[in-house]
Amino acid sequence: MSKVFIHQPDFCPWLNFFMRAKHSDYFVVLDNVQFNRRGWFNRDIIKTKSGAYKITIPIKKEPRDSLLIKNVKFSNYDDWKTVFFKTLEVNYSKSKFFRENILILNNLFNEDFVYLIDLNIKLINYFFSIFSIKTKLIFSSELRLSSYKNKLIVDICNKLNCKEYITGKGSDDYLDLDEFKKNNISLNQDVNFNDKYLQINGTFMRDLSVLDFYFNCYDKKNKTNII
């Protein structure tokens, strides 16, 4: 039975994102859905000495009703990138693998990106590689489906002949569960990252950007893999 993980291509997402992708046969990137300004496509959370800190990528203002994920553009990419890397340095320079990993990350950003999705996918693919995730990546726009919201998720599952949809527990609040039952699609809400790893800056904090694990624990030589 094929499994699918369907999600927007968030910026340096949390470890649950990669856990769910790894346990799936397909990862469908929602690129032709409306951009949610309160979502995680252009932001995520890192850890500082003062606690959680939300990094937000500035984007060009466009009419919200017509702005799709794939069309979101950077605003002042170079200026933002400078601030971003300075923020990482201030908060992670004392982490064990910062020095070697910040160079790799810098190279990933070393491109004149226009669309945010291009950077996000590049980063997601990189973290797929370090976590040995072989899941097939498909863009929702390639599936040529005209539905949206709950119906779109069901249609994607059917299009790919997937009978298991991997998602988070919070999805109960917006999914029509009866529609999934009618289509014999089961929901798997139990794929979560529950382990701890070594962190700097105090007590362990969950649900942070993958960057937190990356600087604290990822040893390229030994190919540290926590997923």
Q: 72 pLDDT band (50/70/90 cuts)?
A: very high
- Looking at residue 62, its pLDDT comes to 85
Q: How many domains does the chain divide into? A: 1
Residue 226 forms part of a structural domain? no
Question: Which residues are bridge partners to 34 per DSSP?
Answer: 68
Residues in the chain: 227
| CA distance linking residue 154 with residue 135, whole number of Å | 20
Residue 184 forms part of a structural domain? yes
- Looking at residue 173, its pLDDT comes to 75
Strands of 30-71 (E only): list them.
43-48, 51-56
Angle, CA of 14, 20 and 26, to the nearest 5°: 125
Residue range 98-150, pLDDT digits in tens: 999 999 999 999 999 999 999 999 999 999 999 999 999 999 999 999 998 99
Residue 130 forms part of a structural domain? yes
Residue 227 forms part of a structural domain? no
Residue 224 forms part of a structural domain? no
Please give the residue range of the domain that contains residue 29: 2-217
Q: Give the pTM.
A: 0.96
